[in-house]
Amino acid sequence: MRKTLIKFIPFLIMTSLLTAGCATTGTTPPKLIPQHGSGSGNRSIALAEVPVYMGNVADVSNKAKVIAIEVGKGAEAKTILVKFDDKTQGIEHAVAGHASIINYEMRGGEPWATVVKPKLAKLPDGVTELKTADLKAMQDKGEKFTLVDSRPAKRFAPSNLPGAINIPVDEFKDQINKLPANKDELLVFYCGGPT
Amino acid sequence: MSTDSAGQAKKQGYKNVKVYLEGEPAWIKAGNPTYASKEFISKGNIVLLDLRSAEKSGAGRIPRSVTIPYATLKDKVESLPKKAPIVLYSDNTEESMSALKDLREAGLKKVSLVPGNMEGWTKTGGETTSGPVITTIEWKRQLEKGEVSAADFQSAASGKATDAVILDVRTKDESAAGKYKNAISIPLDQVGSRKGELPKDKKIYIHCTTGARADMAAKELNKNGYNAFYLVGDVTCAGNDCTIVD
Protein backbone atom coordinates (compact mmCIF):
# COMPACT_ATOMS: atom_id res chain seq x y z
CA MET A 1 0.00 0.00 0.00
CA ARG A 2 2.77 2.37 0.98
CA LYS A 3 4.53 1.60 -2.22
CA THR A 4 1.43 2.36 -4.22
CA LEU A 5 1.08 5.70 -2.50
CA ILE A 6 4.65 6.62 -3.19
CA LYS A 7 4.20 5.65 -6.78
CA PHE A 8 1.32 8.06 -7.10
CA ILE A 9 2.95 11.01 -5.38
CA PRO A 10 4.23 12.53 -8.64
CA PHE A 11 0.72 12.23 -10.09
CA LEU A 12 -0.80 13.92 -7.08
CA ILE A 13 1.68 16.75 -7.04
CA MET A 14 1.22 17.30 -10.69
CA THR A 15 -2.54 17.25 -10.69
CA SER A 16 -2.67 19.66 -7.80
CA LEU A 17 -0.61 22.07 -9.86
CA LEU A 18 -2.90 21.81 -12.83
CA THR A 19 -5.64 24.14 -11.80
CA ALA A 20 -7.72 26.10 -14.20
CA GLY A 21 -11.01 27.85 -14.80
CA CYS A 22 -14.52 26.53 -14.76
CA ALA A 23 -15.06 24.03 -17.53
CA THR A 24 -12.36 25.45 -19.73
CA THR A 25 -10.76 22.67 -21.66
CA GLY A 26 -7.26 22.10 -22.75
CA THR A 27 -4.62 19.55 -23.39
CA THR A 28 -1.44 19.63 -21.51
CA PRO A 29 1.60 18.27 -23.15
CA PRO A 30 3.04 15.32 -21.28
CA LYS A 31 4.85 16.66 -18.25
CA LEU A 32 8.42 15.81 -17.64
CA ILE A 33 9.14 14.91 -14.08
CA PRO A 34 12.77 14.59 -13.17
CA GLN A 35 13.76 11.47 -11.29
CA HIS A 36 17.11 10.65 -9.88
CA GLY A 37 19.25 8.07 -11.58
CA SER A 38 19.35 4.54 -10.26
CA GLY A 39 22.48 4.72 -8.19
CA SER A 40 24.78 3.88 -11.02
CA GLY A 41 26.97 6.76 -10.00
CA ASN A 42 25.76 8.56 -13.04
CA ARG A 43 24.59 12.05 -12.08
CA SER A 44 22.37 12.49 -15.11
CA ILE A 45 18.64 12.82 -14.57
CA ALA A 46 16.20 10.43 -16.17
CA LEU A 47 12.88 11.83 -17.40
CA ALA A 48 9.62 9.96 -16.89
CA GLU A 49 6.59 10.92 -18.90
CA VAL A 50 3.17 11.09 -17.23
CA PRO A 51 0.62 11.62 -19.95
CA VAL A 52 -2.50 13.53 -19.01
CA TYR A 53 -5.84 14.39 -20.56
CA MET A 54 -7.47 17.51 -19.18
CA GLY A 55 -10.88 18.77 -20.15
CA ASN A 56 -14.58 18.40 -19.84
CA VAL A 57 -15.99 14.91 -19.37
CA ALA A 58 -18.55 14.50 -22.16
CA ASP A 59 -19.90 11.21 -20.92
CA VAL A 60 -19.12 8.15 -18.86
CA SER A 61 -20.34 4.69 -19.72
CA ASN A 62 -20.22 2.30 -16.80
CA LYS A 63 -21.47 -0.49 -19.03
CA ALA A 64 -18.54 -0.14 -21.41
CA LYS A 65 -16.16 1.29 -18.77
CA VAL A 66 -15.22 4.20 -20.95
CA ILE A 67 -14.84 7.93 -20.26
CA ALA A 68 -15.27 10.36 -23.14
CA ILE A 69 -13.25 13.48 -22.43
CA GLU A 70 -13.15 16.63 -24.56
CA VAL A 71 -9.66 18.02 -24.91
CA GLY A 72 -8.14 20.86 -26.90
CA LYS A 73 -9.65 24.10 -28.09
CA GLY A 74 -10.99 25.32 -31.42
CA ALA A 75 -9.68 23.34 -34.38
CA GLU A 76 -7.65 21.20 -32.00
CA ALA A 77 -10.72 20.14 -30.02
CA LYS A 78 -11.48 16.44 -29.99
CA THR A 79 -13.10 13.81 -27.86
CA ILE A 80 -10.99 10.98 -26.59
CA LEU A 81 -12.25 7.66 -25.28
CA VAL A 82 -10.30 6.51 -22.24
CA LYS A 83 -10.95 3.11 -20.73
CA PHE A 84 -11.02 2.46 -17.03
CA ASP A 85 -11.07 -0.58 -14.79
CA ASP A 86 -11.33 -1.49 -11.13
CA LYS A 87 -7.79 -0.25 -10.55
CA THR A 88 -8.51 3.23 -11.85
CA GLN A 89 -8.34 5.63 -8.92
CA GLY A 90 -10.92 8.36 -8.37
CA ILE A 91 -13.35 7.17 -11.02
CA GLU A 92 -16.11 8.91 -9.02
CA HIS A 93 -14.60 12.20 -10.25
CA ALA A 94 -15.46 11.32 -13.82
CA VAL A 95 -18.87 12.97 -14.10
CA ALA A 96 -20.45 14.16 -17.34
CA GLY A 97 -20.23 17.92 -17.56
CA HIS A 98 -17.43 18.24 -15.01
CA ALA A 99 -13.86 19.13 -15.84
CA SER A 100 -11.37 16.40 -15.01
CA ILE A 101 -7.74 15.54 -15.21
CA ILE A 102 -7.05 11.97 -16.26
CA ASN A 103 -3.66 10.36 -15.90
CA TYR A 104 -3.42 7.53 -18.36
CA GLU A 105 -1.13 4.90 -19.74
CA MET A 106 -1.12 3.23 -23.12
CA ARG A 107 -2.02 -0.44 -23.14
CA GLY A 108 -2.21 -2.22 -26.48
CA GLY A 109 -2.30 1.12 -28.25
CA GLU A 110 -5.24 2.44 -26.24
CA PRO A 111 -5.37 4.90 -23.36
CA TRP A 112 -6.37 3.52 -19.94
CA ALA A 113 -7.12 5.86 -17.06
CA THR A 114 -4.92 5.33 -14.02
CA VAL A 115 -6.04 8.29 -11.90
CA VAL A 116 -9.01 10.62 -12.33
CA LYS A 117 -8.98 13.94 -10.49
CA PRO A 118 -11.45 16.80 -10.56
CA LYS A 119 -10.04 19.88 -12.20
CA LEU A 120 -10.37 22.38 -9.41
CA ALA A 121 -10.99 25.99 -10.15
CA LYS A 122 -8.41 28.43 -8.88
CA LEU A 123 -9.51 31.93 -8.06
CA PRO A 124 -7.34 34.66 -9.56
CA ASP A 125 -5.50 36.89 -7.06
CA GLY A 126 -7.79 39.28 -5.27
CA VAL A 127 -10.96 37.49 -6.38
CA THR A 128 -13.23 35.95 -3.76
CA GLU A 129 -15.94 33.32 -3.97
CA LEU A 130 -19.67 33.75 -3.37
CA LYS A 131 -21.87 30.86 -2.31
CA THR A 132 -25.47 30.42 -3.46
CA ALA A 133 -26.87 31.88 -0.23
CA ASP A 134 -24.57 34.94 -0.50
CA LEU A 135 -25.71 35.71 -4.02
CA LYS A 136 -29.35 35.14 -3.13
CA ALA A 137 -29.08 37.49 -0.14
CA MET A 138 -27.43 40.19 -2.26
CA GLN A 139 -30.24 39.95 -4.80
CA ASP A 140 -32.97 39.95 -2.15
CA LYS A 141 -31.48 43.07 -0.58
CA GLY A 142 -31.36 44.74 -3.97
CA GLU A 143 -27.62 45.35 -3.80
CA LYS A 144 -26.11 46.96 -6.85
CA PHE A 145 -23.76 44.72 -8.81
CA THR A 146 -23.31 43.33 -12.30
CA LEU A 147 -23.91 39.60 -12.65
CA VAL A 148 -22.10 38.12 -15.64
CA ASP A 149 -22.71 34.67 -17.14
CA SER A 150 -19.45 33.54 -18.76
CA ARG A 151 -20.94 30.63 -20.69
CA PRO A 152 -21.40 30.58 -24.48
CA ALA A 153 -24.58 32.33 -25.72
CA LYS A 154 -26.12 28.95 -26.55
CA ARG A 155 -25.92 27.91 -22.90
CA PHE A 156 -26.98 31.30 -21.55
CA ALA A 157 -30.15 31.61 -23.66
CA PRO A 158 -32.27 28.79 -22.18
CA SER A 159 -31.42 29.27 -18.51
CA ASN A 160 -29.71 32.19 -16.83
CA LEU A 161 -29.73 33.73 -13.37
CA PRO A 162 -31.96 36.71 -12.50
CA GLY A 163 -30.58 39.91 -13.96
CA ALA A 164 -27.53 38.28 -15.53
CA ILE A 165 -25.85 39.59 -18.65
CA ASN A 166 -23.92 37.30 -20.98
CA ILE A 167 -20.28 37.78 -21.82
CA PRO A 168 -18.88 34.46 -23.07
CA VAL A 169 -15.37 33.97 -21.78
CA ASP A 170 -13.93 33.77 -25.29
CA GLU A 171 -15.52 37.11 -26.21
CA PHE A 172 -14.59 38.97 -23.05
CA LYS A 173 -12.44 41.63 -24.71
CA ASP A 174 -14.93 42.27 -27.54
CA GLN A 175 -17.87 42.66 -25.18
CA ILE A 176 -16.17 44.46 -22.33
CA ASN A 177 -18.34 47.52 -23.07
CA LYS A 178 -21.22 45.59 -21.45
CA LEU A 179 -19.47 46.07 -18.09
CA PRO A 180 -19.93 49.25 -16.06
CA ALA A 181 -17.46 52.02 -16.88
CA ASN A 182 -16.82 52.58 -13.17
CA LYS A 183 -14.19 50.03 -12.25
CA ASP A 184 -15.00 50.24 -8.54
CA GLU A 185 -18.40 48.59 -9.10
CA LEU A 186 -18.86 44.99 -8.03
CA LEU A 187 -18.78 42.31 -10.75
CA VAL A 188 -19.91 38.75 -10.08
CA PHE A 189 -19.05 36.06 -12.63
CA TYR A 190 -20.59 32.60 -12.86
CA CYS A 191 -20.80 29.73 -15.32
CA GLY A 192 -21.99 26.14 -15.42
CA GLY A 193 -20.25 24.55 -12.46
CA PRO A 194 -17.55 24.52 -9.87
CA THR A 195 -14.71 22.83 -11.69
CA MET B 1 -15.02 30.06 -17.56
CA SER B 2 -16.07 32.24 -14.61
CA THR B 3 -12.63 32.28 -13.00
CA ASP B 4 -10.97 32.99 -16.34
CA SER B 5 -13.39 35.91 -16.91
CA ALA B 6 -12.82 37.21 -13.38
CA GLY B 7 -9.08 37.18 -14.03
CA GLN B 8 -9.56 39.13 -17.26
CA ALA B 9 -11.77 41.69 -15.46
CA LYS B 10 -9.05 42.13 -12.83
CA LYS B 11 -6.49 42.72 -15.57
CA GLN B 12 -8.75 45.38 -17.06
CA GLY B 13 -8.63 47.23 -13.76
CA TYR B 14 -11.89 46.18 -12.09
CA LYS B 15 -11.20 46.29 -8.38
CA ASN B 16 -14.20 44.49 -6.94
CA VAL B 17 -14.55 41.09 -8.60
CA LYS B 18 -16.20 37.96 -7.20
CA VAL B 19 -17.00 34.54 -8.58
CA TYR B 20 -20.08 32.44 -7.94
CA LEU B 21 -18.13 29.26 -8.46
CA GLU B 22 -20.90 26.73 -8.00
CA GLY B 23 -22.79 28.43 -10.79
CA GLU B 24 -26.07 27.76 -12.52
CA PRO B 25 -26.53 24.08 -11.50
CA ALA B 26 -26.23 24.93 -7.78
CA TRP B 27 -28.57 27.90 -8.21
CA ILE B 28 -31.24 25.59 -9.64
CA LYS B 29 -30.59 22.89 -7.06
CA ALA B 30 -31.27 25.41 -4.30
CA GLY B 31 -34.73 25.93 -5.76
CA ASN B 32 -34.09 29.26 -7.41
CA PRO B 33 -35.52 30.27 -10.78
CA THR B 34 -33.59 30.75 -13.99
CA TYR B 35 -34.75 32.72 -16.98
CA ALA B 36 -34.83 32.35 -20.73
CA SER B 37 -33.44 35.06 -23.02
CA LYS B 38 -35.79 37.07 -25.21
CA GLU B 39 -34.48 35.54 -28.41
CA PHE B 40 -34.83 32.03 -27.03
CA ILE B 41 -38.46 32.76 -26.10
CA SER B 42 -39.16 34.16 -29.58
CA LYS B 43 -37.26 31.69 -31.73
CA GLY B 44 -35.96 28.74 -29.71
CA ASN B 45 -37.26 25.21 -30.17
CA ILE B 46 -39.21 25.36 -26.92
CA VAL B 47 -42.56 24.68 -25.32
CA LEU B 48 -43.81 28.08 -24.16
CA LEU B 49 -46.58 27.80 -21.57
CA ASP B 50 -48.99 30.59 -20.71
CA LEU B 51 -50.32 29.74 -17.24
CA ARG B 52 -53.01 32.41 -17.24
CA SER B 53 -56.67 31.84 -18.03
CA ALA B 54 -57.77 31.19 -21.61
CA GLU B 55 -59.55 34.52 -21.48
CA LYS B 56 -56.43 36.50 -20.68
CA SER B 57 -54.35 34.41 -23.07
CA GLY B 58 -56.83 35.04 -25.88
CA ALA B 59 -56.69 38.77 -25.29
CA GLY B 60 -52.92 38.95 -25.60
CA ARG B 61 -50.07 36.47 -25.25
CA ILE B 62 -46.51 35.79 -26.38
CA PRO B 63 -46.53 34.27 -29.88
CA ARG B 64 -46.22 30.45 -29.95
CA SER B 65 -47.62 30.09 -26.41
CA VAL B 66 -49.65 27.08 -25.45
CA THR B 67 -52.31 28.00 -22.91
CA ILE B 68 -52.40 25.74 -19.87
CA PRO B 69 -54.00 27.60 -16.95
CA TYR B 70 -52.05 26.90 -13.76
CA ALA B 71 -54.97 25.10 -12.12
CA THR B 72 -54.90 22.47 -14.88
CA LEU B 73 -51.10 22.13 -15.14
CA LYS B 74 -50.85 19.21 -12.72
CA ASP B 75 -52.99 17.04 -15.01
CA LYS B 76 -50.84 17.91 -18.02
CA VAL B 77 -47.39 17.33 -16.53
CA GLU B 78 -47.20 13.76 -17.81
CA SER B 79 -47.94 14.83 -21.37
CA LEU B 80 -45.14 17.40 -21.54
CA PRO B 81 -42.25 16.35 -23.78
CA LYS B 82 -39.43 15.28 -21.46
CA LYS B 83 -36.58 16.56 -23.58
CA ALA B 84 -38.07 19.93 -24.45
CA PRO B 85 -36.92 23.20 -22.95
CA ILE B 86 -40.04 24.54 -21.24
CA VAL B 87 -40.50 28.25 -20.63
CA LEU B 88 -43.28 29.44 -18.33
CA TYR B 89 -45.06 32.69 -17.71
CA SER B 90 -48.08 34.01 -15.90
CA ASP B 91 -49.18 37.40 -14.60
CA ASN B 92 -48.48 36.30 -11.08
CA THR B 93 -44.99 35.58 -9.76
CA GLU B 94 -46.18 33.15 -7.12
CA GLU B 95 -47.95 31.10 -9.76
CA SER B 96 -45.05 30.95 -12.21
CA MET B 97 -42.67 30.04 -9.35
CA SER B 98 -44.98 27.25 -8.15
CA ALA B 99 -45.30 25.90 -11.68
CA LEU B 100 -41.53 25.95 -12.09
CA LYS B 101 -41.15 24.02 -8.86
CA ASP B 102 -43.85 21.50 -9.83
CA LEU B 103 -42.28 20.76 -13.19
CA ARG B 104 -38.78 20.45 -11.79
CA GLU B 105 -40.09 18.08 -9.14
CA ALA B 106 -41.75 16.04 -11.87
CA GLY B 107 -38.27 15.46 -13.29
CA LEU B 108 -38.28 17.99 -16.12
CA LYS B 109 -34.77 19.35 -16.32
CA LYS B 110 -35.00 22.28 -18.68
CA VAL B 111 -37.61 24.60 -17.20
CA SER B 112 -37.15 28.36 -17.06
CA LEU B 113 -39.24 31.51 -16.79
CA VAL B 114 -40.01 34.56 -18.90
CA PRO B 115 -38.25 37.43 -17.06
CA GLY B 116 -40.88 39.53 -15.32
CA ASN B 117 -43.71 37.33 -16.57
CA MET B 118 -46.20 38.80 -19.09
CA GLU B 119 -45.62 42.28 -17.75
CA GLY B 120 -41.87 41.99 -18.17
CA TRP B 121 -42.32 40.77 -21.72
CA THR B 122 -44.51 43.66 -22.86
CA LYS B 123 -42.44 46.23 -20.92
CA THR B 124 -39.33 45.24 -22.82
CA GLY B 125 -41.12 45.57 -26.14
CA GLY B 126 -41.86 41.87 -26.67
CA GLU B 127 -44.24 41.00 -29.49
CA THR B 128 -47.72 39.72 -28.60
CA THR B 129 -50.52 37.99 -30.40
CA SER B 130 -54.24 37.50 -29.69
CA GLY B 131 -57.17 35.36 -30.79
CA PRO B 132 -58.18 31.75 -30.17
CA VAL B 133 -55.72 30.07 -27.82
CA ILE B 134 -53.61 27.02 -28.59
CA THR B 135 -54.02 24.15 -26.15
CA THR B 136 -52.08 21.31 -27.73
CA ILE B 137 -48.32 20.98 -27.59
CA GLU B 138 -46.55 20.22 -30.81
CA TRP B 139 -42.86 19.88 -30.23
CA LYS B 140 -40.26 17.98 -32.16
CA ARG B 141 -36.74 17.50 -31.05
CA GLN B 142 -34.25 18.82 -33.57
CA LEU B 143 -31.43 16.49 -34.48
CA GLU B 144 -28.13 17.41 -32.91
CA LYS B 145 -25.01 17.60 -35.02
CA GLY B 146 -23.91 14.10 -35.89
CA GLU B 147 -27.23 12.48 -35.06
CA VAL B 148 -29.14 10.18 -37.43
CA SER B 149 -32.92 10.42 -37.58
CA ALA B 150 -34.92 7.39 -36.46
CA ALA B 151 -36.39 7.15 -39.99
CA ASP B 152 -32.98 7.05 -41.71
CA PHE B 153 -31.74 4.60 -39.11
CA GLN B 154 -34.67 2.28 -39.61
CA SER B 155 -34.33 2.44 -43.37
CA ALA B 156 -30.73 1.23 -43.06
CA ALA B 157 -31.60 -1.35 -40.40
CA SER B 158 -34.28 -2.89 -42.58
CA GLY B 159 -31.85 -3.14 -45.51
CA LYS B 160 -33.74 -0.58 -47.64
CA ALA B 161 -30.93 1.95 -47.56
CA THR B 162 -27.69 0.35 -48.68
CA ASP B 163 -25.41 3.35 -48.21
CA ALA B 164 -25.21 2.79 -44.45
CA VAL B 165 -24.42 0.01 -42.00
CA ILE B 166 -25.74 -0.41 -38.46
CA LEU B 167 -23.27 -0.59 -35.60
CA ASP B 168 -24.43 -1.88 -32.21
CA VAL B 169 -22.11 -0.69 -29.41
CA ARG B 170 -23.92 -2.33 -26.52
CA THR B 171 -22.17 -4.97 -24.44
CA LYS B 172 -21.88 -8.54 -25.64
CA ASP B 173 -24.57 -9.62 -23.18
CA GLU B 174 -26.99 -6.93 -24.27
CA SER B 175 -26.55 -7.79 -27.95
CA ALA B 176 -26.92 -11.50 -27.25
CA ALA B 177 -30.36 -10.84 -25.77
CA GLY B 178 -31.58 -9.29 -29.00
CA LYS B 179 -30.22 -7.20 -31.85
CA TYR B 180 -30.87 -5.81 -35.31
CA LYS B 181 -30.38 -8.61 -37.79
CA ASN B 182 -27.84 -6.77 -39.94
CA ALA B 183 -26.04 -4.96 -37.14
CA ILE B 184 -22.31 -5.22 -36.62
CA SER B 185 -21.77 -5.69 -32.88
CA ILE B 186 -18.73 -4.01 -31.36
CA PRO B 187 -19.04 -3.01 -27.68
CA LEU B 188 -18.05 0.62 -27.09
CA ASP B 189 -14.87 -0.28 -25.22
CA GLN B 190 -13.66 -2.23 -28.27
CA VAL B 191 -14.56 0.34 -30.92
CA GLY B 192 -11.07 1.80 -30.83
CA SER B 193 -9.28 -1.49 -31.39
CA ARG B 194 -11.77 -3.12 -33.78
CA LYS B 195 -12.66 -0.18 -36.01
CA GLY B 196 -10.90 -1.93 -38.90
CA GLU B 197 -13.97 -4.18 -39.17
CA LEU B 198 -16.04 -1.21 -40.31
CA PRO B 199 -16.36 0.18 -43.85
CA LYS B 200 -14.98 3.64 -44.58
CA ASP B 201 -17.01 4.06 -47.76
CA LYS B 202 -20.41 3.81 -46.06
CA LYS B 203 -22.23 5.78 -43.44
CA ILE B 204 -22.21 4.12 -40.04
CA TYR B 205 -25.37 4.46 -37.99
CA ILE B 206 -24.64 3.65 -34.36
CA HIS B 207 -27.05 2.68 -31.63
CA CYS B 208 -26.94 1.60 -27.99
CA THR B 209 -29.88 1.77 -25.57
CA THR B 210 -30.24 5.54 -25.13
CA GLY B 211 -27.73 7.21 -27.43
CA ALA B 212 -25.02 8.00 -24.90
CA ARG B 213 -22.60 5.26 -25.87
CA ALA B 214 -23.47 5.66 -29.55
CA ASP B 215 -22.51 9.33 -29.36
CA MET B 216 -19.16 8.42 -27.81
CA ALA B 217 -18.51 5.77 -30.46
CA ALA B 218 -19.42 8.18 -33.29
CA LYS B 219 -16.92 10.74 -32.00
CA GLU B 220 -14.20 8.10 -31.85
CA LEU B 221 -14.91 6.86 -35.38
CA ASN B 222 -15.26 10.30 -36.95
CA LYS B 223 -11.93 11.25 -35.45
CA ASN B 224 -10.47 8.32 -37.39
CA GLY B 225 -11.88 9.18 -40.79
CA TYR B 226 -15.20 7.32 -40.64
CA ASN B 227 -18.59 8.81 -41.51
CA ALA B 228 -20.48 7.89 -38.35
CA PHE B 229 -23.79 9.09 -36.90
CA TYR B 230 -25.49 8.22 -33.63
CA LEU B 231 -29.09 7.44 -32.83
CA VAL B 232 -30.77 9.07 -29.84
CA GLY B 233 -33.67 7.05 -28.54
CA ASP B 234 -34.52 4.11 -26.36
CA VAL B 235 -33.78 0.97 -28.34
CA THR B 236 -35.17 -2.31 -27.09
CA CYS B 237 -34.83 -5.63 -28.89
CA ALA B 238 -36.54 -8.98 -28.60
CA GLY B 239 -34.81 -11.39 -30.95
CA ASN B 240 -34.29 -9.45 -34.17
CA ASP B 241 -37.32 -7.31 -33.51
CA CYS B 242 -36.17 -3.90 -32.27
CA THR B 243 -38.13 -0.78 -31.50
CA ILE B 244 -37.01 2.81 -31.09
CA VAL B 245 -38.79 5.19 -28.74
CA ASP B 246 -37.68 8.80 -28.84
Classify domain A132-190 at the CATH superfamily level.
Rhodanese-like domain (3.40.250.10)
Q: Assign B19 a pLDDT band (cuts: 50, 70, 90).
A: very high
Minimal Cβ distance to A160: which of B37, B191, B212? B37
Neighbouring CB atoms inside 10 A of A28's CB total 15
**Residues A124, B1 contacting (CB under 8 angstroms):** no
Q: How many CB pairs under 8 A join A and B?
A: 226
Kindly tell me if the per-residue pLDDT of A1 is higher than 60: no
Per-residue pLDDT for A88 more than 90?
yes
pLDDT in tens, B58-76: 999 999 999 999 999 999 9
Look at chain B and report how many structural domains it folds into.
2
Inside any domain, residue B12? no
Q: Do domains A2-118 and A132-190 have the same CATH topology?
A: no
Statement: A2-118 belongs to CATH 3.40.50.2300 = no
Please indicate whether, in this complex, the C-beta atoms of A185 and B213 are within 8 angstroms of each other.
no
Contact B225/A at CB under 8 A: no
Tell me if ipTM is over 0.90.
no
Check if A189 contacts B (Cβ < 8 Å).
yes
Nearest to B3 among A124, A133, A186 (CB): A124
Query: Nearest CB to A126: which of B10, B44, B112?
Result: B10
pLDDT higher than 70, residue A36: no
| % of chain B beyond a pLDDT of 90 | 93
- Is pLDDT at A41 greater than 60 in this prediction? no
Max Cα distance, chain B (Å): 66
Section A71-94 average pLDDT: 88
CA distances from B93 to A131, A139, B117, B128, B192 (A): 25, 16, 7, 19, 52
Average pLDDT over residues B47-52: 98
The pLDDT value given to residue A194: 66
State whether the Cα torsion A113-A100-A50-A10 is positive or negative: negative
Looking at residue A158, what is its pLDDT?
Answer: 97
Cα B205 from Cα B67, distance rounded (Å): 39
For position A49, what pLDDT does the model report? Answer: 67
- Same domain for B117 and B59? yes
Q: Inform me whether the pLDDT recorded for B169 exceeds 70.
A: yes
pLDDT on residue B5: 95
pTM exceeding 0.80: no
CB B19 within 8 A of CB A123: yes
Q: What range defines the domain where residue B222 resides?
A: 147-245
* Among B10, B20, B145, the residue to mutate for chain A (most A Cβ within 10 A): B20
Per DSSP, helices labelled H in B12-85 are 23-29, 38-43, 54-59, 70-76
Q: What is the pLDDT of residue B65?
A: 98
Are B100 and B195 contained in the same domain?
no
Q: Is A87 helix (H, G, I), strand (E, B) or coil?
A: coil
B134: which residues sit within 8 A by CB, 6+ positions away? B65, B66, B67
B130: pLDDT strictly greater than 80: yes
- Residue B187 domain-assigned? yes
The CATH code of the domain that includes B186 is: 3.40.250.10
What percent of chain B lies above the pLDDT cut of 70? 100
**Annotated domain spans of chain A:** 2-118, 132-190
Q: With cut-offs at 50, 70 and 90, classify the pLDDT of residue B217.
A: very high
Is residue B14 in a domain?
no
Mean pLDDT across B151-169: 95
Interchain CB distance below 8 Å, A130 and B20: yes
